[in-house]
Amino acid sequence: MSLLFSRTTLGPLALQNRLVMAPLTRSRAIGNVPNDLMTQYYAQHATAGLIVTEGTSPSPNGLGYARVPGIYSAEQVAGWKRVTAAVRPLGAKFFMQFMHCGRIGHPLNLPQGARILAPSAIAAAGEMYTDASGMQPNATPEAMTEADIKSTIEEFAQAATNAIAAGFDGVELHGANGYLLEQFFRPTSNQRTDRYGGSVENRARFVLEVARAVIEAIGKDKVGIRLSPFGVFNDMPPYAAMEAEYTGLAAELDAAGLVYIHLVDHSSMGAPAVPDSMKAAIRRVFKRTLILSGGYDAARAESDLEAGKCDLIAVGRPFLANPDLVARWKAGAALNAPDMSTFYTPGPKGYTDYPTMAA
């Protein structure tokens, strides 16, 4: 009997299995609006128990990358409605990931009038691809004023209302991988001297205020969060107090009532491993659903579920390259290899043309 392929629940939702399609930015949203190609892509993956969309911006300010979708305009809501309508009858439950990129971005990827915002005016090391001028250094962000913080939180809450109106079952706050929420939480990117910076309580404030505002808008059973303790992506160096601070944050998120924490371990992508002690500590303090992700194959997914380390397993690259991953893993079949060269390129190649087993 496989646990991975057995039914379970996420808050009040029934899931057809415990496999989650991890959030995957694919940069096919021309004009930042979801389209028919994206509808086809998500429908192809709808045998998952839960799909988490690619990072989707709650604000024009949060777009960061080229061709990522948003959820702040009526056109975007209408586009996402078509996506959820295609996925729903196929069985997967569907959460939208809210990715506000903050300082990871370039003005050339943003609509006119949008601003690159972050807790402090500190540019992240590294470069950003732009369609207009190729690779560019990450922009130096504007330090957010209290008014910017307030309006950004309001954007998250409105985006949550929009996501539910578009037919999603819930939203996942992207608190991982060096984007805005993590920029507030980590001491290197947050050098503020007001009540949003300094102590860990202050650095957690923005994350918790966003979470509470989104819960207020759509209800706690519909809100999860992704976290990446020990993650170094996007110029986020490790620091001594990290394990204790993230465990404290998980306890606060438990008190706020979120339905899940989705923990990222990017050691399969070259980052330091998240120690088992950290995963176990979060499991202890966070009472609702725990999703683990990063480098999973079917055997490890099954053994971590059996050991009670988590409730659901999220899979990125193998799922990206195998829309019928559930059937392949059930059958013990070979997998297509992901083609990195088409991860972020426009069009169907490397997106909707991976063959299924029967093909």
Ligand X SMILES: Cc1cc2nc3c(=O)[nH]c(=O)nc-3n(C[C@H](O)[C@H](O)[C@H](O)COP(=O)(O)O)c2cc1C
Q: Which residues are catalytic?
A: 179
Q: Is 343 in the site for ligand X (CB under 6 A)?
A: yes
Q: Which two tokens stand for residue 164?
A: 């539910």
CB of 189 to ligand X, least distance (A): 17
Q: Is 346 in the site for ligand X (CB under 6 A)?
A: no
Q: Tokens 């013990």 correspond to what residue?
A: 332
**Spatial CA neighbour of 70 closest among 39, 106, 101:** 101
Query: CB atoms < 10 A from the CB of 154, how many?
Result: 14
On whether the CB atoms of residues 130 and 66 are closer than 8 A, the answer is yes
Distance CA 21, CA 45 (A): 8
Window contacting ligand X (CB under 6 A); options: 112-120, 161-169, 271-279, 315-323:
315-323
Element (H, E) at 117: strand 117-118
CA dihedral over 44, 165, 76, 149, signed as positive or negative? negative
CB of 193 to ligand X, least distance (A): 30
Window contacting ligand X (CB under 6 A); options: 41-49, 74-82, 198-206, 313-321:
313-321
CB of 17 to ligand X, least distance (A): 16
Contacts with ligand X by CB under 6 A: the residue count is: 23
CB of 150 to ligand X, least distance (A): 25
Choose between 22 and 218: whose C-beta lies nearer to ligand X.
22
**Spatial CA neighbour of 91 closest among 36, 37, 55, 43:** 43
Site for ligand X in 140-199 (CB under 6 A): 174, 176-177
Window contacting ligand X (CB under 6 A); options: 71-79, 121-129, 212-220, 312-320:
312-320
Site for ligand X in 203-242 (CB under 6 A): 226
Q: Is 25 in the site for ligand X (CB under 6 A)?
A: yes
- The torsion of the CA quartet 59, 60, 66, 70, rounded to 10 degrees, works out to 50
Distance CA 7, CA 21 (A): 16
Q: Is 87 in the site for ligand X (CB under 6 A)?
A: no
On whether the CB atoms of residues 105 and 64 are closer than 8 A, the answer is yes
Q: Which two tokens stand for residue 39?
A: 């509808």
Distance CA 103, CA 190 (A): 11
Q: Is 279 in the site for ligand X (CB under 6 A)?
A: no
Choose between 46 and 68: whose C-beta lies nearer to ligand X.
68
Residue of 11, 55, 58, 175 interacting with ligand X (CB under 6 A): 55
Residues that bind ligand X (CB under 6 A): 22-25, 54-55, 97, 99, 174, 176-177, 226, 264, 268-269, 293-296, 315-317, 343
